[in-house]
Amino acid sequence: MGYGHFLIFAAAAAVGAGLGVVVDFDIRDTEIGGHLAGFAVAVPVAVYLLIVWLLHIRPQAHGAVLFAYPGIVVLILLTPLGPAPVHVTAGLLAVLVLITRLRGRIDPERKQSAD
């Protein structure tokens, strides 16, 4: 048992703080730009996904799911450069859930070797 779960909780808390920054930006209550506000959400979401992938997904997954997480992370980090970064991030997360549910069957042999 390691301390990886602390990183997961910290990233989840940072997502909440980032959403607060985006709300402040949307109601014009802050001086930061739109790209920076988008990164305030994108970076913690990317960190969260990478830590979950490293600790839980990578040791047991195979196929498309194994590569979907890092690919979606890269796309999420690019979302602040376009319009509506929070909405695009949410859409990418929905795609990741879909990929995980459809292709994410855990290989029984890999699960036994990880235990």
Domain that includes residue 80, residue range: 4-114
Q: What is the 3-state secondary structure (H, E, C) of 25-90?
A: HHCCCCCCCHHHHHHHHHHHHHHHHHHHHHHHHCCCCCCHHHHHHHHHHHHHHHHHHCCCHHHHHH
Residue-level pLDDT at 58: 86
pTM value? 0.84
Over residues 103-109, mean pLDDT? 60
Q: Worst-scoring range by mean pLDDT, 22-36, 46-60, 92-106?
A: 92-106
Whether 59 and 89 have beta carbons less than 8 Å apart is answered as no
Whether 47 and 72 have beta carbons less than 8 Å apart is answered as no
Place of tokens 């990418």: 92
**Would you call 23 helix, strand, or coil by DSSP?**
helix
Q: Into how many domains does the chain fold?
A: 1
Place of tokens 């690919």: 71
| pLDDT surpasses 80 at 45 | yes
| Chain centre distance of CA 54 | 12
**What tens digit of pLDDT does each residue of 57-71 get?**
888 877 888 899 999
